[in-house]
């Protein structure tokens, strides 16, 4: 329930703030900057992972929810007062990125505390299903609220959802963490986590793969979809919300499918397949000018993206010792720092060359990189 609520608010916010930025500035570059700011906090995610190994994970989730509530309430006040500027949007986006950098590794490391190893794949997939349900509902809700109630009405709803999320977290029964408390300094804890990953080839390859896909494939949701909705497909804010929701619908079906598989074999082959089909669908999306075809291609992108991320998370957690899970998932969240850079560059490239050319170049780069990883590290395909 907590995941459903927090993720609904986050995705509704991403859609609303993307469209708001475009309306205020008419600049693809500024859309990329705001989208990048939403992810910039991931640079400190490894330290947040250290906190997840040393502190009560439920309390950390409550702190993140409190800050999210405060940030959304401030945005609402600025909108109602008429004082909102792009600077305010960027500043609040940076705050939100810090809370997500705390929430993500903490929530991921929390899952093994709740289930046994034999149920880990299903638990991660169910968590992904909860998230992707909101990637359908949140953007669609945000897109429909903008023309109906305006940006202020949308942010009023977002603040209300964060408030309910906070209540649910307070009702969550305490769970005993599986990791022992440590007494070394946070810096030494982080260094030990880095050394652990460096010595674990499986985890290292998976993190590098996630880093590169975040750089070249993932920006489509944040930087390119609002540009295509407005300038290429002429779909408006509702169409933009539906494009984002369609990606979430594909991801939802992917999560349900992975749940149905249970603890299946040949997970590495699925990472490779998803990592290739995902950017291939985006390459086709880049040349599409038909709205319904674009919806279908975004659906495929969302489906294969979710398969890739879910299986990567499963393989990382199943190949990591209990005492290192928080730090390793903090590093997993930390590699998302490539996503804001990808968003910044996407906005600049779209402003210079146009959104279709920029998206096509990104997708082609992701395909080339994934093929290179498969050739250089053939053991990736054999992971179970």
What are the residues whose beta carbons fall under 8 Å from the beta carbon of 5, sequence distance 6 or more?
A: 161, 162, 164, 165, 168
Place of tokens 């997970």: 267
pLDDT value at residue 182: 54
CA distance to 22, 107, 233, 383, per residue, from 229 (Å)? 11, 32, 5, 39
Q: Is 213 in contact with 339 (CB distance < 8 Å)?
A: no
Closest CA to 46 of 181, 177, 207: 207
Alpha carbon 119 to its chain centroid, in Å, reads: 23
pLDDT at 361 over 90: yes
% the chain with pLDDT above 70: 90
Measure the CA angle with vertex 43, ends 42 and 48; round to 5°. Answer: 70
* Record: fold of 2-173+185-382: Growth Hormone; Chain: A; (1.20.1250)
pLDDT at 372 over 90: yes
Measure the CA angle with vertex 216, ends 211 and 218; round to 5°. Answer: 80
pLDDT at 51 over 60: yes
**What are the boundaries of each domain within the chain?**
2-173+185-382
pLDDT at 367 over 60: yes
State the SS3 of 298-324. Answer: HHHHHHHHHHHHHHHHHHHHHCCCHHH
Closest CA to 222 of 24, 28, 1, 9: 28
Q: At what angle do helices 57-81 and 86-114 cross, to 10 degrees?
A: 160
Higher pLDDT, 354 or 327: 354
**Burial, 291: exposed, middle or buried (Cβ in 10 Å; 0-12, 13-18, 19+)?**
middle
Q: What is the mean pLDDT of residues 304-332?
A: 81
Structure tokens at 95: 């705050």
Place of tokens 């505390």: 113
> What DSSP state is assigned to residue 382?
G
* pLDDT 10s digits, 234-264: 888 778 878 887 887 887 788 778 767 766 6
Average pLDDT, the chain: 83
* pLDDT 10s digits, 164-186: 989 988 887 766 655 555 556 77
């Amino acid at each position: 329930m907590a995941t459903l609520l927090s993720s609904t608010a986050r995705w509704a916010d991403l859609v609303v703030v993307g469209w708001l930025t475009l309306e205020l500035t008419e600049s693809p570059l500024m859309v990329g900057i705001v989208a990048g700011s939403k992810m910039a906090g991931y640079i400190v995610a490894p330290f947040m992972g250290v906190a997840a190994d040393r502190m009560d994970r439920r309390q950390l989730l409550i702190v993140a929810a409190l800050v999210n509530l405060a940030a959304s309430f401030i945005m609402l006040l600025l909108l109602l007062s008429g004082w909102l500027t792009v600077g305010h949007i960027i500043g609040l986006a940076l705050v939100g990125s810090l809370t997500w950098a705390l929430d993500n590794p903490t929530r991921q490391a929390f899952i093994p505390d709740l289930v046994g190893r034999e149920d880990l794949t299903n638990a991660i997939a169910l968590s992904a299903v909860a998230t992707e349900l909101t990637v359908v509902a949140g953007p669609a809700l945000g897109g429909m609220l903008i023309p109906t109630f305006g940006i202020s009405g949308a942010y009023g709803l977002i603040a209300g959802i964060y408030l309910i999320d906070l209540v649910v977290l307070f009702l969550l029964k305490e769970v005993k963490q599986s990791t022992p408390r440590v007494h070394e300094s946070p810096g030494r804890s982080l260094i030990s986590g880095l050394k652990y990953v460096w010595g674990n080839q499986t985890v290292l390859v998976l993190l590098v793969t996630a880093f590169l896909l975040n750089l070249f494939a993932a920006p489509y949701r944040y930087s390119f979809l609002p540009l295509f909705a407005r300038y290429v497909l002429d779909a408006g804010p509702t169409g933009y919300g539906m494009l984002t929701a369609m990606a979430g619908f594909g991801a939802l079906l992917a999560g349900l499918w992975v749940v149905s598989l249970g603890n299946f074999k040949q997970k590495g082959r699925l990472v490779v397949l998803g990592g290739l089909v995902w950017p291939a669908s985006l390459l086709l999306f880049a040349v599409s000018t038909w709205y319904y075809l674009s919806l279908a291609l975004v659906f495929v992108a969302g489906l294969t993206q979710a398969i890739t991320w879910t299986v990567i998370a499963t393989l990382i957690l199943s190949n990591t010792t209990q005492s290192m899970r928080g730090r390793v998932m903090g590093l997993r969240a930390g590699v998302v720092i490539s996503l804001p850079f990808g968003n910044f560059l996407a906005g600049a490239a779209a402003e210079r060359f146009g959104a279709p050319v920029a998206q096509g170049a990104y997708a082609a780069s992701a395909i080339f990189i994934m093929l290179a990883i498969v050739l250089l590290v053939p053991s990736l395909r054999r992971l179970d």
